[in-house]
Chains A and B, each alone.
Chain A
């Protein structure tokens, strides 16, 4: 049984409504600081059922000065899942949960995000920590607070791909190793389909949410058929949501643009680092070849003079090649840009739909009618 479990990969994630509510509450409370927490549940036939969650305690950071405060706090919160104190807290918490008969199986962690800016070293390291230490079947749930506030819930589940896990284990992200392992930015994270699951009890409760009784006297049913379609019959719960008809395009796109510009800046920084490295490397190599040629000539004269030749591999001791900068940051940045791009893509898809729905205002010249 255990063997089979290990073999079958995770196919999807199923999250209990309770967990969703808890995550939303936690994340929006701490917004804009990153919030993190632990997930418990179990894995059933490739479907990871997340049945409960609890937040990690917010780390108290001694505020050095106003400017640094938010930054370090964010960092501390983001790094919470792999902090030592928190592992203890987490195991304690799971122990208590078992006592109240909750699934006592750690299946991952969750984090909050702002406009999809979650692809960074922290997330990767946290997930690596979980996937390596705890067990293979753990996920990271990302709740995007900003996007959720626009009407549609944004909750996504991610895992690190096995190839990335291997590369990260080695800790080497040089051009060479990337070429060998054929790792691209697309291979970092694997998104899993996510469904929200309500217990039947809850569904039926929702469907029976009491609506107000009609205030005036009711008309008699006109026909038999009208009896069947009861006007007082409850609608599907909490539907429709008028928030999703929000037409404010600018704030979202502006924010995304800003983030994209930031990413491009990061990209240029990375680029410069790499170019610097390459220049250094070329310079060192030129020096080494010069040394080797000199040594060869020397050896030739020594051979002519019947003297033992000098060793030709001394350059390894004399010269030190510069360390290639890690490409991880670049990879993550690329992934992040992709994330933003998709986000905009999805957004525009839905927003153009809405725009056509209010078409009369869309076409220029028609607006006045």
Chain B
């Protein structure tokens, strides 16, 4: 009503005009109320509802405001003026038509859709449109305008037909102008289609009706559609429904669905559009929709709008959450956040349902296909007709819907506290989502069968990798249940070529999916498939297969060039392989695999299982937000505490014998397997009073101490009392394996530590000390002897170890070795420097050769010494590595995340 109040304050002269306008409005209002009007008239009058009237949107906002504020007061005179303007423009266009000058009609093809923004820029045609839009503010479309655009269209068609026939080409500007106008006319004329029809039917009659009788003109176009509505009602009772909202009545008819949809789609991405409102409208539209085509179109639009909404909510949410972390006390925030979040989840669930219905519709109507590379159907009035044997392509992408659904679920899981019932509730949706993915995959497969459609291979790959990513981290039992449930919900008529129904074996499923991807994809998807399969294998205790695949993939060399999510997957796989090796009792391999991730102290970050708060690094909020987005949902996490426990235990089993072996030799520093472990051990040793162990770390440290002292039983007790082993699949087996390892390493440690004090040592004594079978002791000792870790011989007759004396390096010898190493290092660096200085010049090279020769002689001596002297040490190291080292080449993998 503001308009009218505004009018009251205007000057006397215009008040009469105002009256007239008022009466006009009233008239229309009464029309609306008395009879069921078409949406066109209600659309042009309804100020608040932006979603209903097509013209509203095309008009844009600026013209809206303009007319609201300045022009209202002088409606009548302005209207006249504008009519004149319109006439003038029409004249110009007609003149241009006569000389076939399209450039004048559309001089600037770049002018935008927003007509009201810049009056001096643009074309005659645009100018015309602009003027008309302003005119329509106060009522109906001027007939002269209808005539002009109808003529223009006819003329245009004629010209195009002519240009096709004639060999003579139009000049460039003309052609460009023609094209621009063609496009715009199509778009523009759709809105006035009924009027143009009328005009074409009866040119003179249309023009004859008095221009002043606006009401009549308004009424006239509304009638046909009204009739249609009535027809519909008669034929199909559920075809439409009436919605009362804001005291006004709106109708959605099957006819107008597409039109509504178009307005909504066009408003997508613009500011100030109420998406909730649009969704409501579209839900209604779906109820109204009769043909599969309409349903599909509505659903497509609806789902994408929902995604728009959720993504908006999510970004808002993450900001909120960020704020929350800054100011944790703000309860109101959390309330607000909660509300938004609920809504967000709700939308997601609905989107899922809608997606489901979409798939159902598509499956039941095989003639309609949703495909990415389809062309858009331009005509809203005439729904496309199907011809037998032909399929109707509707633009859209099932894959991206699936991907979005998946992403949204992940995002919502990221934001729910994993220890609440809500999380579990939400997690239950994953099954449904998985079903969707499988169905989407089936659909795409079906499309792929049809040669004509040319579905890109990539979309199938994308959907398969999604499916794989829902499967790879789950134990096979879970996967089997998931698969069973999925196939139960999918109609029996559907079956997959890639993964046929009924094959419930999880590993076979993963294998088939991965093999398919190896064959049909490349790049990141292929790499991800590999990693998923390796992860799955490692999870199911197939260490050697996992390791071989890991090595064969050569991913460790290229992983740095992949995106961060893939790097995270790589890290996860690496860790899983390590855990697998541990379960298999391969301590060295396990330690090696875990070293990179666990030794860095940034496990959380590298596995995307939590954001580290780094004290000294400058992380911008943007980076932090990205990192938060990368986080994995809780149910995918690898237990970090278990990981640490495994890592430390492995490190203990390797480091303690090593410490005993190296003793106090000066090259002690060089041979550190795990820096993290050493640091912890040092810290633990520095403590004056050590209480009973509390956490995993304490347990391992105290166990290490006991092992170093030769008390393997105590060590074993400590390790066994760690509770976290229960999280592994067979805790008893693990503990047994660990006990054996501890006994063995305890024996090694004992031999290293006390060998200098023995001349001979009976194998049976050792066996009783470590409660190992004699054969085992003999095996361990022989192994040590063969690796030159122990200067001894095994007397098999008397079953005793005979130690040789004086074989160990004296302190002086080891010092000398270190010194010679250093000296040769110095010589090398000197030679390098000289090379750098004299590069390129032959003489200098000669000189450096001489000098190198001299240095080489002394250095050679030093190096020769070191080689000879250190042979033992070298072999020792080699010996330690000989079983492992398989995963060694993976050093330098994806540490950065």
> Could you list which residues of chain A lie within 8 angstroms of chain B, going by C-beta atoms?
249-250, 253-254, 257-258, 260-261, 264, 267, 271
A253 CA to B818 CA, complexed, in Å: 13
The answer to whether B816 and A257 have CB atoms under 8 Å apart is yes
Nearest-neighbour CB distance to chain A for B739, whole angstroms, equals 43
Instruction: Please tell me if B857 contacts chain A, counting CB pairs below 8 Å.
Output: no
Across the interface, B811 reaches (CB within 8 A) one of A249, A254, A260, A261, namely A254
Nearest-neighbour CB distance to chain B for A175, whole angstroms, equals 13
A250 CA to B811 CA, complexed, in Å: 9
A-B contact pairs, 28 of them (CB 8 A): A249-B812, A250-B810, A250-B811, A250-B812, A253-B812, A253-B815, A253-B816, A254-B811, A254-B812, A254-B815, A257-B812, A257-B815, A257-B816, A257-B818, A257-B819, A258-B815, A260-B819, A261-B666, A261-B815, A261-B818, A261-B819, A261-B822, A264-B819, A264-B822, A264-B823, A264-B826, A267-B826, A271-B829
Per-position binary interface string of chain B over residues 800-842, scored 1 when its CB falls under 8 Å from any chain A CB and 0 otherwise: 0000000000111001101100110010010000000000000
Chain A residues, CB < 8 A from B666:
261
Chain A residues, CB < 8 A from B823:
264
Chain B residue at minimum C-beta to C-beta distance from A264: B822
Chain A residues, CB < 8 A from B816:
253, 257
Chain B residue at minimum C-beta to C-beta distance from A254: B812
A203 CA to B291 CA, complexed, in Å: 133
A253 CA to B820 CA, complexed, in Å: 14
Nearest-neighbour CB distance to chain B for A342, whole angstroms, equals 16
Chain A residue at minimum C-beta to C-beta distance from B817: A257
A267 CA to B819 CA, complexed, in Å: 13
Chain A residues, CB < 8 A from B810:
250
Nearest-neighbour CB distance to chain B for A137, whole angstroms, equals 38
Chain A residue at minimum C-beta to C-beta distance from B816: A257
Nearest-neighbour CB distance to chain B for A173, whole angstroms, equals 19
Closest 3 CB pairs of A and B: A257-B815, A250-B812, A264-B822
Chain B residue at minimum C-beta to C-beta distance from A253: B812
A250 CA to B816 CA, complexed, in Å: 11
Nearest-neighbour CB distance to chain A for B495, whole angstroms, equals 66
Chain A residue at minimum C-beta to C-beta distance from B818: A261
Chain B residues, CB < 8 A from A260:
819
> Could you list which residues of chain B lie within 8 angstroms of chain A, going by C-beta atoms?
666, 810-812, 815-816, 818-819, 822-823, 826, 829
Q: Is the interface of A mostly helix, strand, loop or mixed?
A: helix
Nearest-neighbour CB distance to chain A for B22, whole angstroms, equals 66
Nearest-neighbour CB distance to chain B for A332, whole angstroms, equals 17
Q: Which of A254, A257, A258 has the most CB of B within 10 A?
A: A257
Nearest-neighbour CB distance to chain A for B686, whole angstroms, equals 16
Chain A residues, CB < 8 A from B822:
261, 264
Q: Which of B666, B815, B826 has the most CB of A within 10 A?
A: B815
Chain B residues, CB < 8 A from A249:
812
A234 CA to B150 CA, complexed, in Å: 146
Nearest-neighbour CB distance to chain A for B376, whole angstroms, equals 52
Nearest-neighbour CB distance to chain B for A336, whole angstroms, equals 15
Nearest-neighbour CB distance to chain A for B663, whole angstroms, equals 16
Chain B residues, CB < 8 A from A267:
826
A47 CA to B545 CA, complexed, in Å: 85
Chain B residue at minimum C-beta to C-beta distance from A257: B815
Given contacts A257-B816, A261-B666, A264-B826, 6 further A-B contacts (CB under 8 A): A253-B812, A253-B816, A257-B812, A257-B818, A264-B819, A271-B829
Chain B residues, CB < 8 A from A264:
819, 822-823, 826
Chain B residue at minimum C-beta to C-beta distance from A271: B829
A258 CA to B822 CA, complexed, in Å: 12
Chain B residues, CB < 8 A from A271:
829
Chain A residue at minimum C-beta to C-beta distance from B810: A250
Nearest-neighbour CB distance to chain B for A277, whole angstroms, equals 15
Chain A residue at minimum C-beta to C-beta distance from B829: A271
Chain B residues, CB < 8 A from A253:
812, 815-816
Chain B residue at minimum C-beta to C-beta distance from A263: B822
Nearest-neighbour CB distance to chain A for B670, whole angstroms, equals 14
Nearest-neighbour CB distance to chain A for B551, whole angstroms, equals 37
A261 CA to B821 CA, complexed, in Å: 11
A257 CA to B811 CA, complexed, in Å: 10
A258 CA to B818 CA, complexed, in Å: 10
Chain B residue at minimum C-beta to C-beta distance from A250: B812
Chain A residue at minimum C-beta to C-beta distance from B823: A264
A254 CA to B816 CA, complexed, in Å: 8
Chain B residues, CB < 8 A from A257:
812, 815-816, 818-819
Chain B residues, CB < 8 A from A258:
815
A264 CA to B822 CA, complexed, in Å: 8
Chain A residues, CB < 8 A from B819:
257, 260-261, 264
Q: Which of B811, B812, B823, B826 has the most CB of A within 10 A?
A: B812
A59 CA to B798 CA, complexed, in Å: 67
Nearest-neighbour CB distance to chain A for B815, whole angstroms, equals 4
Chain A residue at minimum C-beta to C-beta distance from B815: A257
Chain A residues, CB < 8 A from B826:
264, 267
Nearest-neighbour CB distance to chain A for B40, whole angstroms, equals 63
A261 CA to B823 CA, complexed, in Å: 9
Chain A residue at minimum C-beta to C-beta distance from B666: A261
Chain B residue at minimum C-beta to C-beta distance from A249: B812
Chain A residues, CB < 8 A from B829:
271
A277 CA to B569 CA, complexed, in Å: 41
A250 CA to B810 CA, complexed, in Å: 9
Nearest-neighbour CB distance to chain B for A357, whole angstroms, equals 21
Chain A residues, CB < 8 A from B812:
249-250, 253-254, 257
Chain B residues, CB < 8 A from A261:
666, 815, 818-819, 822
Nearest-neighbour CB distance to chain B for A275, whole angstroms, equals 11
Chain A residue at minimum C-beta to C-beta distance from B825: A264
Nearest-neighbour CB distance to chain B for A201, whole angstroms, equals 46
A91 CA to B812 CA, complexed, in Å: 47
Nearest-neighbour CB distance to chain B for A330, whole angstroms, equals 13
Nearest-neighbour CB distance to chain A for B836, whole angstroms, equals 12
Nearest-neighbour CB distance to chain A for B821, whole angstroms, equals 10
Chain B residues, CB < 8 A from A254:
811-812, 815
Nearest-neighbour CB distance to chain A for B811, whole angstroms, equals 6
A261 CA to B819 CA, complexed, in Å: 6
Nearest-neighbour CB distance to chain B for A184, whole angstroms, equals 15
Chain A residue at minimum C-beta to C-beta distance from B811: A254
Nearest-neighbour CB distance to chain A for B369, whole angstroms, equals 59
Nearest-neighbour CB distance to chain A for B653, whole angstroms, equals 32
Q: Which of B810, B818, B829 has the most CB of A within 10 A?
A: B818
A250 CA to B815 CA, complexed, in Å: 11
Nearest-neighbour CB distance to chain B for A146, whole angstroms, equals 16
A253 CA to B826 CA, complexed, in Å: 21
Chain B residue at minimum C-beta to C-beta distance from A251: B812
Nearest-neighbour CB distance to chain A for B832, whole angstroms, equals 12
A112 CA to B600 CA, complexed, in Å: 48
Nearest-neighbour CB distance to chain B for A352, whole angstroms, equals 16
A150 CA to B71 CA, complexed, in Å: 115
Nearest-neighbour CB distance to chain B for A337, whole angstroms, equals 10
Nearest-neighbour CB distance to chain A for B806, whole angstroms, equals 12
A257 CA to B823 CA, complexed, in Å: 12
A271 CA to B833 CA, complexed, in Å: 12
A102 CA to B771 CA, complexed, in Å: 82
Chain A residues, CB < 8 A from B815:
253-254, 257-258, 261
Nearest-neighbour CB distance to chain A for B425, whole angstroms, equals 58
Nearest-neighbour CB distance to chain B for A333, whole angstroms, equals 12
Nearest-neighbour CB distance to chain B for A117, whole angstroms, equals 16
Chain B residue at minimum C-beta to C-beta distance from A252: B812
A200 CA to B812 CA, complexed, in Å: 46
Chain B residue at minimum C-beta to C-beta distance from A258: B815
A264 CA to B811 CA, complexed, in Å: 19
A330 CA to B36 CA, complexed, in Å: 101
A189 CA to B638 CA, complexed, in Å: 66
Nearest-neighbour CB distance to chain A for B861, whole angstroms, equals 15
Nearest-neighbour CB distance to chain B for A270, whole angstroms, equals 12
A271 CA to B825 CA, complexed, in Å: 13
A157 CA to B816 CA, complexed, in Å: 30
Nearest-neighbour CB distance to chain B for A282, whole angstroms, equals 14
Nearest-neighbour CB distance to chain A for B826, whole angstroms, equals 7
A258 CA to B816 CA, complexed, in Å: 9
